[in-house]
Amino acid sequence: MAAPPQVAVDERVDRFVRRLAAAHRRRSPYLAAARRWAPGRVDHRIAALTCLDSEPAGAGEYPVWAQVAKLFAIWHGGRIDVAFGYPGAGIGRWAHQLGVGDPAGERSIERITTAASSQRLDTALTALARTRTARPPHWATVIAELTDWADPARRAAVRFTWARDFYSFPPPAGEAPKSAGAVQPALESEPPQ
């Protein structure tokens, strides 16, 4: 039997994020409950947010989706408009807004990338969500990253991605990103090596 197409997963994640947005607009007590969620807890109100018509989140997905509901609720707290984030802007890019070289930003990304348990990661991400950054992460990207982090075999790669995204600067508008392996020509003012 063939594996289900990735598009179906993306559609479910998209519907979940839209459900969070609708809960925010309605000032749902279920989203308010998400602010107090902690790893290892099952809250019926948060489970209600993860029930997407005929395709609810499975037991393995629930902790990640509950974590994202919590981060979404905290970040949107006190805000009127819903923000979905820019596609691809995950946790590292979100923390980048605190400032590379800023002690608070450096501590934040260190806590996030060194978290060894769900509880420690929850604490670090909750602190990030409370910093009132100008832009949120792309919530679907956060779901994908946290899903990968939950798999011990992929955890190191996710940590590296978060650190890389924190220290990387986006290319100027209209400029294509440079590939990691591309050799850049030396500027004339640079001394020869």
Tens-place pLDDT, residues 53-92: 667 777 888 899 999 999 999 999 999 999 999 898 999 9
pLDDT for res 189: 36
CA–CA dist 101, 10 (Å, integer): 35
Position with higher pLDDT, 35 vs 2: 35
CB-CB contact of 42 with 1 (8 Å): no
pLDDT for res 172: 54
Average pLDDT, the chain: 83
For the segment 9-32, the average pLDDT, to the nearest whole number, is: 89
* Residue 165: how many other CB atoms lie within 10 Å: 21
For the segment 131-147, the average pLDDT, to the nearest whole number, is: 94
Please give the model's pTM, rounded to 2 decimal places. Answer: 0.81
Tens-place pLDDT, residues 87-122: 989 999 999 999 998 999 999 999 999 999 999 999
Residue 69 CB partners (closer than 8 Å, separation 6+) = 20, 31, 34, 37, 46, 49, 50
Tens-place pLDDT, residues 176-191: 444 433 333 333 333 3
pLDDT for res 3: 41
Residues 113, 93, 148, 41: is their CA dihedral positive or negative? Answer: positive
CB-CB contact of 109 with 97 (8 Å): no
